[in-house]
Structure 1
Amino acid sequence: MAADSPSYFTIIMLLSRLMAFIGISKNTDIAPPPLSHDPSAIASAAKDFGLIVKTLPQAVLFPSSPQDIASFIQSNYNSSAPFTVAARGESHSVRGQAMAKNGVVVDMTSLNKNPSGIGIRISGDRTYVDLGGEQLWIDVLNVTMRSGVAPVSWTDYLYLTVGGTLSNAGISGQSFRYGPQISNVYELDVITGKGDFVTCSPSKNSDLFYGVLGGLGQFGIITRARIPLEPAPKGVKWIRMLYSDFSAFSRDQELLISKNDRTDKTALNYVEGSLLLNQASLDPFFPPEDHPKIGALITKYGIVYSLEIVKHYDDQTKPTVDKDLQQLLKGLGYIPGFLFEKDVTYIEFLNRVRAEEMFLRSKGLWEVPHPWLNLFIPKSGITAFNNGVFKGIVLQRNITSGPLLVYPMNRKKWDDRMSASIPDEEVFYTVGFLHASGFDNWKTYDDQNQAVLQFCQKAGIEIKQYLGHYSTKEDWIHHFGSKWNTFQQRKLQYDPKFLLSPGQSIFNNN
């Protein structure tokens, strides 16, 4: 019998628990939908994008409506032997965060995804869209753009669910100006760990509202989100500039994000930085004819820093966008002759990662382990991080593959009432080691990740992990810091049996 196959004892225990579950459900007004024990469904729910952790659930729930989820969770909560429960969208986690060992995985993608049903509404001076938690952001973009409007805050990759990104934070190069996605929500429908179906907002059931946003699925499953919309641009000016000096690179990033008033039409709309470490790190943005001179630059300096910016325009602002950009770029310290520009549609820019994904899929390089590490680093520690990690660990080990992002955000664009934990300083950086490895060497990358974390600890850099993976409850307490007591109280209130999102290993050592 294979090591991952359920034993006879396990099957007997499962049947016993199901009998208890069914016994409870008979006393409810609406019987929960049946759980699936199909081996292929269980195998699919046992893995995620990271392909590092494999955790078998006992069963998978395929709901056809939010009411199915509420009915199941309520019956499960009242059962004498309840399962742990994990909501799974596109499962873009990398350490099993959307898994439930010996529990039940709720496959959110089985809900009726109908992009044409995404409803745009206007109420007073507010334009917004109501979205199912299972909806993909790419569908949101395509549907809203037909009406000339769109959300303002995105992730770099759009084939993720609304509920999934809001449970974390949802960040990208727009965050410095518009805040993360969790700062752009009017209202939520949430099913708590007790099966209560709750509509919440800043003015209604606000404690649950703020808890769920960035709450890592600990307090409830998001089944609907009301997202504000603004007029969408027609196109974007997309620029990358190259730097050999980190001080100039970070100084210019911080200067550009300091102009962050949402109503300022002359400000940038997107700022992201990344590292170029070898010829393979050059993506199609850079003209092929310029690859040799960029490669020579990388050879000379070891690391080249790429600053990526975007300026939106519409029919009214198109005549002045180039002039506005020239004003913003004046005095920046990039290497002369290494500025590259494109003019593309808004959708082309936002969906830019999709082409790379399809290329990797065609080469069989997408479904491979992804030993990622994502960090928030206070501004005061970013120079030491560059010297000790980028110029030290990364260059010395010379194994980094995949994008390596580094860009700043403004703390004031985040709402501290929400669960998401960020550094205390007004400006902080996100650093993403977005590795892709082989199945036989992912631990080598993981060892590098651990070396990075150890460096930060020794250097006294108060980092926060984003999409975090901690091994102990004490680590989570340190992560949440002053928010821990509130986080724990919310757990006791909304999921008192500690059933939800066990894969995060916050209250459940999975």
Structure 2
Amino acid sequence: MASPSLIPAHFIVFFVVSRLMSIIGNLRPSKNSLPCEIDSLGVHAKLRYDLDAIGLASTDYGNIVHEIPSAVLYPTSIDDIIELIKFSNECPLPFNVAARGHGHSVRGQAMAHDGVVVNMLSLKKHYKNGNGIRVSTSGNYADVGGEQLWIDVLNATLEHGLAPLSWTDYLYLTVGGTLSNAGFSGQTFLYGPQISNVLELDVITGKADFMTCSKDQNSELFYAVLGGLGLFGIITRARIVLAKAPKRVKWVRMIYSDFSIFTRDQEHLISTKGLEYLEGSLLMDYTPANNWRSSFFSPSNESQIISLLKKHGILYCLDMVKYYDDETANSVDKDVQMLQEGLNFIPGFTFMRDETYVDFLNRVRRGEITLKSKGLWDVPNPWLNLLVPNVSKKEDYGSKCTDQRSRDQT
């Protein structure tokens, strides 16, 4: 029998090192893909070509799409972005420009292959006056820079006893980023997504025009940019609707084993007044009852739920939240009890937590910190939000959505 062929150790080392250099080389940007005239721009010194900047701008939270830009712009003013986009348009071979906030897009919307990614967070460091968040004297709205994080918006508005109406489940995202998508959470059923709570925008268009828009001024641009995935312009300022902020919440989670009953109760609660948050989720028999987004159950509760999961294979959780403050603290428990009347969750499987308003809104942050401590936050985390229509009703949902969109615009 022939003896196995042995590969010299020095060859293996050479091959591994060569392979690593090839991978690193693929990440290295090709500066030559940008016109040489870019060196004459005022923003030239704010462009970075190093591997750290390029690597950060080459991926996003979805970790599905990877596109390598030629450079990353770290702007110190909105004028820097305008200059870059204008230059791109004037080039014989225009290059792509994309805005990146915290990089939580899921399909590469914040990337620019062989182009320039604009690091919007860089603007936060260069405000001459204020922090990019200004609450109006009337308290009806706040003017917020597109690069601001929602957690910073929350903290700034709470200083005035105010807060936006609609949120995302995770607050460490930029205002411009979520408004370029939609901005969904459990408040959506009552207030609409975040894009329905915007009065005005400042936008840099693809033609490098700086435009202010609203439902009455440049309305086509206004509605194109809101939820436009960054295709119609870069949001640099948003005027966000505010209201009086509550102090605490009663957070109730109810468990169902029947999907039809679960959705029926959810639809009932949607039509009920007095509820500020409503969202459903799934528990599978191969996942823990407590997950990284919210460790809701006590150890004894968790064991009960695990037993129930083994029986049914899948369970449905309905989360509802009632806001309250000092004036309504004495009646909130009764209000929650009334909201639960007539619901058909599994008897004995309803759980309640009392939290501050801030802790509830920022609940996913706790899970993030836990995952980061275990080195797991940077791995892909599937996260899918769905709006499920009531197919039992004979309605034209396309017309219904169009009608709702028309009402939103008026």
Q: TM-score, normalised by structure 1?
A: 0.69
CA contact (8 A) 1:193 1:219 kept: yes
Is 1:223 equivalent to 2:236 in the alignment?
yes
CA RMSD of aligned residues (A): 2.5
Q: Classify the secondary structure of the residue corresponding to 2:151.
A: helix
Q: State the shift of 1:117 in Å.
A: 4.6
- Within the candidate set 245, 248, 252, 2:265 is matched to 252
Q: Summarize the alignment of residues 481-492 of structure 1 with structure 2, pairs less than 5 Å apart.
A: none
Q: Classify the secondary structure of the residue corresponding to 1:380.
A: coil
- Within the candidate set 342, 346, 360, 1:349 is matched to 360
Q: State the shift of 1:49 in Å.
A: 1.1
Identity of aligned residues (%): 56
State the partner residue of 1:397. none
Q: State the shift of 1:245 in Å.
A: 1.0
Q: Summarize the alignment of residues 367-406 of structure 1 with structure 2, pairs less than 5 Å apart.
A: 367-380=378-391
Q: State the shift of 1:36 in Å.
A: 1.4
CA contact (8 A) 1:49 1:369 kept: yes
Q: State the shift of 1:376 in Å.
A: 3.9
Is 1:329 equivalent to 2:340 in the alignment?
yes
| CA distance in structure 2 between the aligned counterparts of 1:94 and 1:189, rounded to whole angstroms | 25
Is 1:157 equivalent to 2:170 in the alignment?
yes
State the partner residue of 2:52. 40
- Within the candidate set 257, 280, 284, 2:288 is matched to 280
2:103 maps to amino acid = S
Instruction: Give deviations 1:160-214, integer Å, cap 9, x for gaps.
Output: 0000000000000000000000000011000001110001111111111111000
Is 1:72 equivalent to 2:72 in the alignment?
no
Q: State the shift of 1:414 in Å.
A: 5.5
Q: State the shift of 1:34 in Å.
A: 4.0
Q: State the shift of 1:11 in Å.
A: 4.2
Q: State the shift of 1:281 in Å.
A: 3.6
1:62 maps to amino acid = Y
- Within the candidate set 314, 320, 343, 1:303 is matched to 314
2:355 maps to amino acid = V
Q: State the shift of 1:349 in Å.
A: 0.3
2:344 maps to amino acid = G
State the partner residue of 1:315. 326
Q: State the shift of 1:134 in Å.
A: 0.5
**Do the aligned partners of residues 67 and 129 (structure 1) sit closer, same or farther apart at CA in structure 2, a change above 3 Å counting?**
same
**Do the aligned partners of residues 372 and 117 (structure 1) sit closer, same or farther apart at CA in structure 2, a change above 3 Å counting?**
closer
Is 1:5 equivalent to 2:20 in the alignment?
no
2:282 maps to amino acid = L
| CA distance in structure 1 between the aligned counterparts of 2:187 and 2:322, rounded to whole angstroms | 11
Q: Classify the secondary structure of the residue corresponding to 2:331.
A: helix
1:93 maps to amino acid = S
Q: State the shift of 1:370 in Å.
A: 3.4
**Do the aligned partners of residues 12 and 150 (structure 1) sit closer, same or farther apart at CA in structure 2, a change above 3 Å counting?**
closer
Q: Classify the secondary structure of the residue corresponding to 2:144.
A: strand
Q: State the shift of 1:314 in Å.
A: 1.5
CA contact (8 A) 1:208 1:219 kept: yes
Q: Summarize the alignment of residues 423-438 of structure 1 with structure 2, pairs less than 5 Å apart.
A: none
2:326 maps to amino acid = D
2:358 maps to amino acid = I
State the partner residue of 1:18. 35
**Do the aligned partners of residues 323 and 137 (structure 1) sit closer, same or farther apart at CA in structure 2, a change above 3 Å counting?**
same
**Do the aligned partners of residues 117 and 43 (structure 1) sit closer, same or farther apart at CA in structure 2, a change above 3 Å counting?**
closer
Instruction: Give deviations 1:80-138, integer Å, cap 9, x for gaps.
Output: 22210111000112222211111110110111257845211134xx6111111000000
Is 1:144 equivalent to 2:157 in the alignment?
yes
CA contact (8 A) 1:183 1:413 kept: no
CA contact (8 A) 2:289 2:306 kept: no
State the partner residue of 1:415. 405
1:282 maps to amino acid = N
State the partner residue of 2:188. 175
**Do the aligned partners of residues 82 and 22 (structure 1) sit closer, same or farther apart at CA in structure 2, a change above 3 Å counting?**
farther
State the partner residue of 2:208. 195
Q: State the shift of 1:55 in Å.
A: 1.3
CA contact (8 A) 1:185 1:225 kept: yes
**Do the aligned partners of residues 158 and 412 (structure 1) sit closer, same or farther apart at CA in structure 2, a change above 3 Å counting?**
farther
Q: Classify the secondary structure of the residue corresponding to 1:229.
A: strand
Q: Classify the secondary structure of the residue corresponding to 1:208.
A: helix
Q: State the shift of 1:18 in Å.
A: 2.7
- Return the index of the structure with the highest Cα Rg: 2
Q: State the shift of 1:53 in Å.
A: 2.3
CA contact (8 A) 1:20 1:81 kept: no
Q: State the shift of 1:289 in Å.
A: 1.8
Q: TM-score, normalised by structure 2?
A: 0.85
Instruction: Give deviations 1:197-238, integer Å, cap 9, x for gaps.
Output: 001111111111111000110110000001011000011111
Q: State the shift of 1:52 in Å.
A: 2.7
Instruction: Give deviations 1:449-488, integer Å, cap 9, x for gaps.
Output: xxxxxxxxxxxxxxxxxxxxxxxxxxxxxxxxxxxxxxxx
